[in-house]
Chain A
Amino acid sequence: MPAVRLRDVEVRLGRTRALAGVDLVVGAGERVAVVGSSGAGKSTLLRLLTGAVRPATGAVEVLGHDLAGLPARELRRLRARVGTVHQHLDLVGALRVVHDVNAGRLGTWPTWRAALSLLRPQGVPEVVAALAEVGLADRLYDRTDRLSGGQQQRVAVARVLLQQPDLVLADEPASALDPALTDRTMLLLRDVVERRGGALLASLHDPAVALRHCTRVVGLEQGRVVLDAPVPALTAADLAAFYGAPR
């Protein structure tokens, strides 16, 4: 069962066509770098896989479930198995770090437990463990918005570590990190999917990172897949074309 299967997907956002005729199959264990200039449809592709964006035509299958016509309860269950690291982090700045990390468990926690945890943090040891992996265990009770951009990005990774998803979607997960931290973050995300035999889809702006951490590269241009090749067949020069033309 592939982790992701897209068949002839088209997405319209307002009047613009964000994705067109996309066919893509990502198998378990694959790590796919999605590359392309901004506006090429990378973020839309990732949002498509969480059900946040619906296709105008075509079928989207995630972890064996066709998203179209999936009942709300099933969709929630499925989403709990999909971890996301967003470009904008999308952390709740007003919460303490412990809660922001614990939010990774909201897909499996009943609401009462989620509410209780805000009063008295639940499962702190696991949170500490996840934070320790990103080197932030000492910031457990800080307010998230008091952290630097790079630290916040690591909190977002810690959330995914705690969530233990079968599919990780990472939208520019390393945009605010220095090279050493970028490698560490990518390794952590790889670790998550490898342990569970899952897949990783990451939009990346650095060709070197893509080549070092991924098994396959998918290139987008104006909403269409224009490159799809295994990493060993690619060089940094092949990828440079996708980053060379800023819009």
Chain B
Amino acid sequence: MRGRDVARSGGPELEPSLQHPSSAPASLPAAPTRRRLLAGLGAGLGAAAAAGALAACGGRTSPVSPAADPSPAGPSAPSGGALTIGAIPDQDPEVLQRLYGLVADSMAEATGLAVTYRPVTDYAAAVSLFRTGDLDLVWFGGLTGVQARRQTPGAVVVAQRDIDEDFRSVFVVNEATGLAPSEDLTELADLRFTYGSQTSTSGFLMPASFLTEQGVDPRGFPGGPGYSGSHDATLQLVASGSYEAGVLNEQVWVARSEAGEVDPAVRLFSRTPPYHDYHWLLGPDAVERLGEDLPERLQDYFLGLSADDPDDARVLELFGAGSFVEARASDHAQIEAVGEQLGLLR
């Protein structure tokens, strides 16, 4: 039973970091989880917002525009130049995005840049803002990263996580279908089926490609496929039975399984072959502004993050990564080909 193995072998580096405190058994070690980290940072953000509201008129910056308060932790902020970072909303975005200040601080400390995190909740918006230069460094998914590179000539891939070299999706089915785990995706063809977001690599693009490989029309399911919008929504919709089957990011599946949050009605059906997914992408404007060596400096920072350092560990934990590794543009050639085939890239 390969499926069962998958659920248990989800990568040890993920285990403590993705527990939901709400459902974790009391006996678990009180490791600082992502959601718990939120507490401390939320306080900071809230205070900053309140302070912003009360600040004197002079030199005011918008709470929603890139020129907002540079990272308070940046030691020599103005001298080093300013860098605006962002991320697509994907897994646990409420934790990730509210905690990104942590990454900004850590990056500012290591690079001497004034790093600001700007929130974005829409995949396409992240790509557009990268193109307009509002965001300099963005954590993209596979497909959105390729989209961004096509729209922004000169963009540089900086780094990816260790797990992104071997990323997978999982197909899940409702138990009422009676389907046993299998490699044969054609069994899904006659079920009501939902993807995640339309431009999610792990929630749509790669699964659609693997379905096509096995002769299943990825847009053909009865009544047409649904786009749940997120991995968690896919899980819940399959649990409810409204959709009989669906596909999601394996990282989320493992995290939710280990937290005991997956409804028993949801069964693992199949695990896709590996592909490359998320990566950091740097815009050409920033390089021009901050120096030719910027990509290297950032790469050094990311690759230098070590799980042994408590501050670094918090950042890595946030990304559910053991470490960051080098990434090349060619890593995503497969995604580019599939994207073109499915009409998602122009």
In the complex, is A directly touching B at CB under 8 Å?
Answer: no
Tell me the A residues contacting B by CB distance below 8 Å.
none
Tell me the B residues contacting A by CB distance below 8 Å.
none
